[in-house]
Structure 1
Amino acid sequence: MPLPAEIIRAKRLGQALGDAQIEAFVRGLTDRSWSEGQIAALAMAICLNGMDRAETVALTRAMTRSGTVLDWSRDGLPGPVVDKHSTGGIGDKVSLLLAPIVAACGGVLPMVSGRGLGHTGGTLDKLEALPGYTVAPPRHRLRRVLREAGCAIVGASTRLAPADRRLYAIRDVTATVESVALITASILSKKLAAGVRALVMDVKVGNGAFCPTLPEAHALARSLVEVARGAGLPTRALVTDMNQCLGTTAGNALEVQECLAALAGAPAEPRLREVTLALAAQLLHLAGLAASVEDGRRNADAAWRSGAAAERFARMVAGLGGPRDVFAWVPPAAPALRPLPAPRDGVLAAMDTRALGLAIVALGGGRVRPGDTIDPRVGLSQLRPLGSPVRAGEPLLQVHAADVASAEAACRALADALRIDDMAAPAAPVIHATLE
C-alpha cells in the first residue's frame, strides 16, 4: 500500500496521482489511518497544484464507494431518480420550487441538501423553519414520501460518502476549500452515493457567490459536467447570476413563505422564476421526461401554474412531519421590524450581496460556529431588484430581527451594501451560460 508521505510528496511535486494512490488516500480518510495533518497536507498540495480530470474522476468514484451507495431500482418509485444542486447564494430558494415541479412532471427527487455555509443560506435550515419537518427520516419513511410526493428534501446520511465528510471538515479549517477538484469530488460523490441518475447544477457567479468571476464559475461548471460524465452521471450545469438576492426575501422562514406564495399562485419574482424553470427544463430533458428542453420548460410551467407542484410540496412536507396543511401555516414573526430607507432619489444600481448574507448571519439567521442555533424568524424582505427607481426615504428592504438593537445594527451594516446612482447599469443576464 502506498505510504501517505509518498502520496503527499508526489502531489507536492505536481505529479498526477494514480488510482491506487487515490484509493489509499480515501481508505485512510474512512478508516482514520491517515492523520488530520496528513490529510491537510495533501489537501493543500491539491489546492496548490490541482488535479487533472482523470484524478478528479478517480477521487469522486473512490469517495462515492467509501460508504453506502443507494440503489432505488427495487423500491417501486414512480419515475427516474434525479436531482439538482446549487453552489449557494443569497435568497437561493430554487430547490423548494424545483423539487415539487419536477416531481409533478414525473421525476423522483431524493434531494440531499445542505445547511448554510459562510454567508450563504442552506435549504435544510429553511425547511426546518416548518414545525416538525425532519431532514433525517428513516429509509422506510423516505421511500414512502418519494412514492407519494415524488420528492423529499433531506440531509445527507452519515453513511453516504463518509470520506467526504471527514475531508470537508479538515478543508474547512485549513483554507483548502477553494479547489475546483475537491469541490467537484465533494458534490458529485454525495450525488452518486444517493443513487441519482441525472443531475442539473446551478453554479452561481457574482459578489454573493463562492465564484465571484465568470472564469471561475465556468471552470467549476466544466469540471462538474466533465467529471460527472466520467463517473457515469449525466449532468448539465447552468451558470447563473448572484450579484443580487434571488427573489424578494433572504432568511429561513421568510424564504419558505415566499415559495409557498409562489406555489399557491402569487406572481414569483421574475429572476427566481427564470432560474427555476430553466433548471427544471434541463433536468426534465436530461432525464428523458421531456422530448426537448423547450418541452421541459412548458411542462414545468404548466405544473407550477396548475397547482400540481403545490400539491406535491404539501405531500412532501406532511410526509416528513411538517404541518398537515403547509399552505395554511403562518410563519413566526420577528419581534422587531425596521425599514432601510433610501438615502436619496435615484436608481438601485448595485448590491453587495455577500454583505446581505453576513447581515443575516449576524441577526441569528446563520451560524458563526458549528452547532449554533438558528433563529428562523430573522432576515430581509421586500428586497428590490437592481434597476428599481427609488425616492429618498422609501424602504430599500425590511429588516426582521429578534430585537430593536439587532435591527438597528443590521440597518447600519446594510446602508453601504446598496448603492443608489442617477442611472442604472445595463442589466446582467440571470443565466450566463449552459454547459452540457
Structure 2
Amino acid sequence: MTDRLPEIHSESCDDDIVAYILEIKSRCPADPRVAARLARVLAASGDRIQPRSPFSADVASTGGPSSLSTLLCPLYLRAAGAVVPKLGVPGRPAGGIDCLVQIVGYRSTFGVDEVERLLDASGYAHFMAGGRLAPLDSRMFQLRQQHGAQEVPTLVAASLLSKKLAVGVRNAGLDVRVAPHGNFGKTWTEASGNARLFIEAARLLSINAYPVLTDARFPYQPFIGRKEALLALRHIFRGTESPWLEEHRILCRNLALASTPPEQRERILRATVSDLQDQFYMNVVAQGGSRDGFEQLVESTNSRHDHTLRARDDGFVRFDLDGIRKVLVAWQKRAVVDGALFPDPVGIILMRRPGDWVSRGEPLATVRIDDEAFQGAVNDLEEPIAKTALLPLGPSIEGIKTDE
C-alpha cells in the first residue's frame, strides 16, 4: 500500500498535499506503516533536535477542552529527571502553549540552537511547530482542518509522532481523550484501536509509545479557558485546589507515570506540588516570562469572574462540553487582532459537577469577560451550561429512561 501512495515533501504545493491527505483518508485511514512513513517525511521537512540526555519524554494529547495534561505532565516528567522537549500546535480553546503565552514575555517560537540551550539549562522547553521544526506538519495540519481530515487515525498518529521524531523524544505518552467530539476515537472501542495503531507506528520508528484513554465526555476539572488553566495551576501550587481539581492533578500524574520507564516512576510519586511549582517557574523564566507576570495574570483573571450562570430549572447538571468549546472558539476568533496569536476574551469556572442535582437559580458557573464587547458570550453560554436534565449523567452516574 505504501509504495502506491503519491510522494510529498517540504516543497510540495498545497494541492499536492491535499491530494495526499484525501488519498490517505480514502484508502488507508488506519495504517500504522503509512503513519510511520509519513511521520518520517514530516519530521525530515525541517531541522532536528537531539537532547543530550538519553531519557527524553513527553505526553501529548488528542485534543478536547478542560484537561490540563499538556501543562502538568511535563512538570511531573521533569521531576522524574526527564528532558522534555515539547513541540506542539495551537489548541482550541486552550492548548498548553496557548495558555502559557498569556504570561507577559513568554516566548513560543525559537530557533533550534535556542531550544537546545533551553533544554541544557532547564530540561524543559515548550514551543510551537512550524518555522524550522516540522514545518510540513504545520502546513498539513492546517490543510487537514480545511478538508475534514482532522480525525483520520493514520494522519493523527503521523502528526503526533513526527513531532516526537523532530525533537528526539524517545518515550511518547499520549492522552487519548475519548468523546463524541474526540479527534482520535469517539467511543472506547474506536479509541482503543487507534491507540494500538499509535503503538505500532511508534514501534516502527523506535519510539516507546504509552497511550492512555481518558473520558472526555465530561469536564476533567472546572477551569476552562486559556487564562483559567493558569489559574488552576496556581491553585494546585498553593494547595487550594478543590477535590475535583485535585483528582485531575492525580490523573495527570498517572499519565506521566504511564509514560515513564518503571525505574523512574518512584521519583514522580515522590514529587510534591512545590516541586511542580519550581519546574513551572523555571520554564516560565527560561522562556521570557516571570513569576510576577504569572501572579498578576492569574489575579486579574480571578477578579474578572463577575458574571454568574444559574440553573434554569430544577434538575441534574449536564454540561454540553462540545457546546462550551464551540462558544469559546467562536469568541476567540472574533477577538483576533494583528499580532494576537492566542486571544482569550472569555473563560469559565464551573461550580458544580455533571450529574449533581440543583434547584432552579443555583449558580453553576462564573464567566470572565475581558471586554464589554464580548458580553454576548454570556448569553451564548447559557444553553450549554445552564440547561438542566431530567436524568443524571456524569462520570459515575447515568440515569436510564423508562418507557413510562
Regarding TM over 0.5, the answer is yes
Q: CA distance change for structure 1 residues 61 and 264 in 2, over 3 Å: closer, same or farther?
A: same
Cα gap change, 1:404 to 1:337, in 2 (>3 Å): farther
The aligned counterpart of 1:26 is: 8
Distance, in Å, in 1 between the alignment partners of 2:38 and 2:114 is 32
Question: Which segments of 5 or more consecutive residues in structure 1 lack a partner in the other structure?
Answer: 1-15, 430-436
Find out whether 1:203 has 2:176 as its counterpart.
yes
Pair 1:378 & 2:346 matched = yes
Match of 1:281 in 2: 257
- Distance in 1 between the 2:293 and 2:260 partners? 26
**In the alignment, which residue of structure 1 is the partner of 2:90?**
115
Give, in angstroms, the shift of residue 90 of structure 1. Answer: 0.9
* Shift in alpha-carbon separation, 1:410–1:327, aligned structure 2, 3 A: closer
Q: TM-score, normalised by structure 1?
A: 0.81
Matches within 5 A, 1:82-231: 82-117=57-92, 120-210=93-183, 211-231=185-205
Partner of 2:172, secondary structure, is: strand
What count of residue pairs does the alignment treat as equivalent? 391
Change (3 A) 1:248 1:416: closer
Q: For 1:361 and 1:164, how far apart are their aligned partners in 2?
A: 22
Which of 40, 44, 47 is the aligned partner of 2:22? 44
Matched, 1:69 2:48: yes
| Structure 1 letter corresponding to 2:283 | M
Cα distance change, pair 215–102 in 1 and its aligned pair in 2 (3 A): same
Q: Could you tell me which of 305, 310, 317 is aligned with 1:341? A: 310
Alpha-carbon shift at residue 412 of structure 1 (Å): 4.1
Counterparts of 1:150 and 1:38 in 2: how far apart (Å)?
A: 38
1:94 Cα deviation after fit: 1.7
Q: Does the aligned pair in 1 maintain the 2:21–2:149 contact within 8 Å?
A: yes
1:308 aligned to which of 271, 275, 286: 275
Partners of 2:354 and 2:175 lie apart in 1 by 21
One-letter code of the match for 2:327?
A
Which one of 305, 310, 322 corresponds to residue 289 of structure 2?
Answer: 322
Amino acid of the structure 1 residue aligned with 2:44 = R
Read off the aligned partner of 1:315 and give its amino acid letter.
M
Number of the residue aligned with 1:410? 378
- Paired residue type of 2:187: T
Cα deviation, residue 369, structure 1: 10
* Corresponding residue number in structure 2 for 1:396: 364
- 1:353-364 equivalences under 5 Å are 353-364=321-332
SS in 1 for 2:368: strand
Cα RMSD for the two superposed structures? 2.8
Q: Distance in 2 between matches of 1:107 and 1:366?
A: 39
Checking the alignment, whether the CA contact within 8 Å between 1:323 and 1:329 is kept in structure 2 is no
Give the C-alpha shift of residue 244 in structure 1. 1.8
Aligned counterpart, 2:248: 272
Seen in structure 2, the aligned counterparts of structure 1 residues 366 and 266 have a Cα distance that, compared at 3 Å, is farther
Deviation at 1:422, TM superposition (A): 5.2
Structure-1 separation of matches of 2:349 and 2:330: 16
Distance 1:266 1:336, change over 3 A: closer
393-402 or 36-45: bigger deviation: 36-45
CA–CA separation in structure 2 for the residues paired with 1:351 and 1:207: 14
The separation in 1 between residues aligned to 2:395 and 2:51, in whole angstroms, is 44
Shift of 1:224: 1.2
With 197-206 and 338-347 compared, the bigger mean Cα shift is at 338-347
Aligned partner letter, 1:25: E
Residue 265 of structure 1: CA displacement?
2.2
SS in 2 for 1:37: helix
SS in 2 for 1:110: strand
Structure-2 residue corresponding to 1:238: 212
- The residue type equivalent to 1:50 in the other structure is C
* Partner Cα distance (1:43, 1:147) in 2: 37
CA distance in 1, matches of 2:34, 2:116: 34
Going from structure 1 to structure 2, the CA distance change for 1:135 and 1:411 (only over 3 Å counts) comes to same
Q: Secondary structure at the match of 1:96?
A: helix
- Aligned AA for 1:58? R
Percent of aligned pairs sharing the same letter: 25
- Residue 208 of structure 1 contacts residue 353 of structure 1 at CA under 8 Å; is this kept in 2? no
- Residue 264 of structure 1 and its aligned partner are, at CA, apart by 3.0
Which segment drifts farther, 407-416 or 375-384? Answer: 407-416
Whole-Å Cα distance in 1 between the matches of residues 335 and 203 of structure 2?
A: 35
Deviation at 1:257, TM superposition (A): 1.2
TM-fit CA distance, 1:98: 1.5
Which one-letter code corresponds to 1:346 in the other structure? G
Contact 2:309 2:386 in 1 (8 A): no
State the distance in 2 between where 1:59 and 1:310 align: 37
CA deviation after TM superposition for structure 1 residue 341, in Å: 0.4
Contact map agreement 2:130 2:137 (CA 8 A) in 1: no
Q: CA contact under 8 A between 1:26 and 1:63: conserved in structure 2?
A: no
SS at match of 2:239: coil
Between the aligned partners of 2:295 and 2:178, the Cα distance in structure 1 is 35
